[in-house]
Structure 1
Amino acid sequence: MVSSLDHLGGDPAIASRFLFEVDGVEIGIFKEVRGLEVTVGTEEIKEGGQNGYVHKIPARMTWPNIVFRRGLTQSDALFDWMSKSSGEGFAGNGNKLSRSTGAITAITHTGARLRSWQLQAVFPVRWKGPEFSIDKKEALEEELEIAHHGFKSKTFSAP
């Protein structure tokens, strides 16, 4: 049997874009997100007299920066946020970083929300604008890189 979704891109549980919000404000919608991961380091404890193995225990958790690609922001919210966490905005706040709460939400081609990752203490570290050329036929794209202090995941229930 042919699904009515086949002509729209197939499985309704597959994300077709990713919404990025900061403190509830939409920053942009992107087609690609890299770096949403966590690594748990380990420490080794060498027990005296035990030469068969070394005890490993969990240690510090680390999260790489997250990079959003292949999107275009629709408002000045990104640059407003960047100005608060760098340059004159940062200096005007006594050189204190005002960290925000962020969220990445996976969205299907029908607009349904699949899963969200709530990011803690986010701030922007890099933005790259579109490349302009009259010879290019590709859509304009931006790239955004953010730092954060971890995340929690939330699954949305099916309608």
Structure 2
Amino acid sequence: MKNLTLSLQFARFPGVAAHRAALARHRVQRWIRHALARDAEITVRIVGSEEGRALNRDYRHKDYATNVLTFDYAQEPVVLADLVLCAPVVESEARALGKPLAEHYAHLIVHGTLHAQGWDHETSEADAKAMEAHESDILRGLGLADPYA
């Protein structure tokens, strides 16, 4: 396993307790470590709709809250990144998919961790397929269902 320095942060928003319960520190560390190819320092911040929307608007110029944003600062010699997950979006998606909240968080945290290491699904269809296959392998290795099946 790769070394990981993790900061896990929760903003104040309605229903934060359920998200804290789904995101026990040891679980988040496990999910990230399984997705790492090298040592990392990663901050995972769980936010409400307002903060999620503001960040997506300011940094991606898309005026809505999205499920996960990855801010990658360095990929070598260690991965340095912030992952910001919008709790209401994640919860809504999990409900729509019929998945437990923690399982959907696991997928999105793995997804964001891969982005922090240079994986990108928006560059080409081939890149999207490769990233999805890698995510599926990681999640199966964690004992979770394939999110793309």
TM-score, normalised via structure 2 length: 0.26
When Rg is computed on C-alpha atoms for both structures, the one with the higher figure is 1
More helix by share: 2
More strand by share: 1
TM-score, normalised via structure 1 length: 0.25
